[in-house]
Amino acid sequence: MTINAVVFDFDGLILDTEYPRFVAWKETYEQYGCVLEDADWHRTIGTKDALDLYALLLERAADRAHTIPPENEVRATKTARELELIAAEKALPGVLDWLDDAARLDLGLAIASTSPPNWVEPHLDRLNIRHRFSVISCWAEPLRPKPAPDVYLAAIDRLGVDAADAVAVEDSPNGVAAAKAAGLFCVAVPNQLTGQLDLSGADVVVPSLAELPLTQLARRLGG
């Protein structure tokens, strides 16, 4: 296999936005005497609209004395806390090294994310890596969210490469399924929320990108 491009997931892979979001929701539930379980959150990772967290909060608070504010108020408070936590996060280990290696190897770089561009791009700007990616493929209708392959297919189409010559980097089962359905070789890097999930659909699973340099992977794959 000759690697011509690398396509990265964003949330939980380049930047740990998943755990701050989980913490912000968990704190919101606790404020109203409820519990958000890890298993609840696992249903939301790497896809869209799998779980209505506000509706679940109402359900779990139904037999308690708390009055839950309107959804827009709850989400606004949660989002402010989430952004506060994310602002302290840096790119996850090995990500910058992979980007440097990709530049040296003259590989195309893209993002394939179920999150919207107005979420992904500001974070890439803050990390000063937006310019590294020639393609940002984010979910929007008529594309289907992961685990459907649509954002990956759109990314490789815009990069002008074949799926067989591209590597996907993911952190969730939904992301792995999307990458493989699109025909990409997939490296899975579990984070602190996805480490308990089944990532066996990936071609390679590593604890951190820092433990598998891109140049080493390219040699292993013969390109």
Give the whole-angstrom CA distance, residue 55 versus residue 52.
Answer: 5
Give the whole-angstrom CA distance, residue 141 versus residue 124.
Answer: 23
* 201 contacts 177 by C-beta, under 8 angstroms: yes
Contacts of 197 (CB under 8 A, 6+ apart): 42, 45, 172, 173, 190
How long is the chain? 223
Contacts of 148 (CB under 8 A, 6+ apart): 178, 181
Q: Report, as residue numbers or ranges, the catalytic residues.
A: 9, 11
Q: Which two tokens stand for residue 36?
A: 């958000």
The candidate with the shortest Cα–Cα distance to 34, out of 16, 15, 59, is 59
* DSSP-assigned beta bridge partners for residue 204: 187
DSSP string, 107-131: -EEEEEESS-HHHHHHHHHHTT-GG
* 193 contacts 42 by C-beta, under 8 angstroms: yes
